[in-house]
Amino acid sequence: MESLRIDTPSVVVDLDVAEANISRFQTYCDSHGIKVRPHIKTHKMPALANFQIGRGAIGITCQKISEAEAMIADGGIDDVLITYNILGEAKLARLRALSEKVKLSVVADNLTVVRGLSGAFATATSPLPVLVECDTGAARCGVSDPEEAATLAAEIDALPGLTFRGLMTYPPAGAASKVTAWLTQTKNLIAAKGLSVEVVSSGGSPDMWHAHEMPLATEYRIGTYAYNDRSLVERGTCSWEDCALTVLATVVSVPSEKRAIIDAGSKVLTSDLLGLNGHGHILGRDDLVIDQLSEEHGRIVSEGPIGLEVGDQVQIVPNHACVVANMLNRVELVRGSKHLGSTPVAARGQVW
């Protein structure tokens, strides 16, 4: 990577690796009849979203309206699910405008959100499809039990401007049978109300190779898989060679035998740990630990002599790719050892 003469600290994306990651999972899903709806929060770049669609994804997932606006700007994407409770006049007006440009659906887990959506779409030419978000164990958003889900589904169906489309969950890892039971019961309760569950949307990169264990799900949302990261390597989901996003950093100081300082700190690597020790993996140097980050400095320590000199470059697989991709205005694109130039991370830094 040194011969690329990329200034540091930079976020570097190897498109060969990212495209292989995207293709590999699409092939797996194709073989199991699972539709893929990639979450673009990881890369936030229209070119990669378009590649995902080109490989067979049915549409994209976004977490923010601004992400959707950025992704559809060049016209290559026509199906967007926003997996977020959307509230407030300003956001609802933008959501309504977005719905006129693209096939849009959203999620909701409470009546306040549903009523707001209904108010904004009551005069729309076609109703907004809404999925009920279900908490199947992750304890974040989502209705808490199947009865509540069925009640909310009926409320969505009854309100003007909306149509009930199905169920969405961000399941806890390794809980396919429990999640399936939860969703099956919910589906039956909803069917008993005369409504049909067209979509069951599940997802998550850690469990990606187990997606087929939950055949109830009609689509799979997945983000990190495009880049992968240290958290997924440590879970055994992928290998270091599958990590498309790295941070390139330069050693700026070697103050003692067992300590070196690099120019990548928390303003590029972030402080996300995801349960890991240390702030990323230095490729080719299993013996080193990035034990501390300041804003623009990373501290590397070693048990023995550190074997780094001022001016050396290191390539770091971060703990969590999705947050690192969000830190700089531009990322550097490479294919193997060929530097293609930099490109803006279109959807980053926006409020909503």
Kindly list the residues in this chain that would bind its own copies in the complex (CB under 8 A). Answer: 5, 7-10, 41, 63-64, 84-85, 87-88, 90-91, 109-110, 112-113, 135, 139-144, 250, 252-256, 259, 261, 263, 266-267, 270-273, 292, 294-297, 299, 309-311, 322-323, 326-330, 348-352
Task: Provide the 3-class DSSP secondary structure of residue 77.
Answer: coil
Antiparallel, parallel or unpaired: β 199-203 and 219-222: parallel
Token pair belonging to 339: 């530097």
Smallest distance, its own copies to C-beta of residue 215, A: 27
- Give whichever of 26 and 205 is closer to its own copies, judged by the CB atom: 205
The Cα–Cα gap between 280 and 316 comes to 6
- Residue in this structure with the two tokens 């693209």, named with its chain if needed: 102
Token pair belonging to 10: 């930079």
Smallest distance, its own copies to C-beta of residue 221, A: 13
- Give whichever of 29 and 347 is closer to its own copies, judged by the CB atom: 347
Smallest distance, its own copies to C-beta of residue 270, A: 6
- Give whichever of 163 and 292 is closer to its own copies, judged by the CB atom: 292
The Cα–Cα gap between 165 and 172 comes to 23
The Cα–Cα gap between 124 and 20 comes to 40
Smallest distance, its own copies to C-beta of residue 10, A: 6
Positive or negative: CA dihedral 25, 27, 11, 235: positive
- Give whichever of 19 and 135 is closer to its own copies, judged by the CB atom: 135
Give the helix/strand (H/E) hosting 132: strand 128-134
- Give whichever of 190 and 261 is closer to its own copies, judged by the CB atom: 261
- Give whichever of 285 and 297 is closer to its own copies, judged by the CB atom: 297
Rounded to 5°, the CA angle 2-46-218 comes to 115
Smallest distance, its own copies to C-beta of residue 102, A: 20
Smallest distance, its own copies to C-beta of residue 142, A: 6
- Give whichever of 139 and 192 is closer to its own copies, judged by the CB atom: 139
Smallest distance, its own copies to C-beta of residue 33, A: 29
Positive or negative: CA dihedral 322, 327, 332, 337: negative
The Cα–Cα gap between 43 and 330 comes to 11
The Cα–Cα gap between 78 and 82 comes to 13
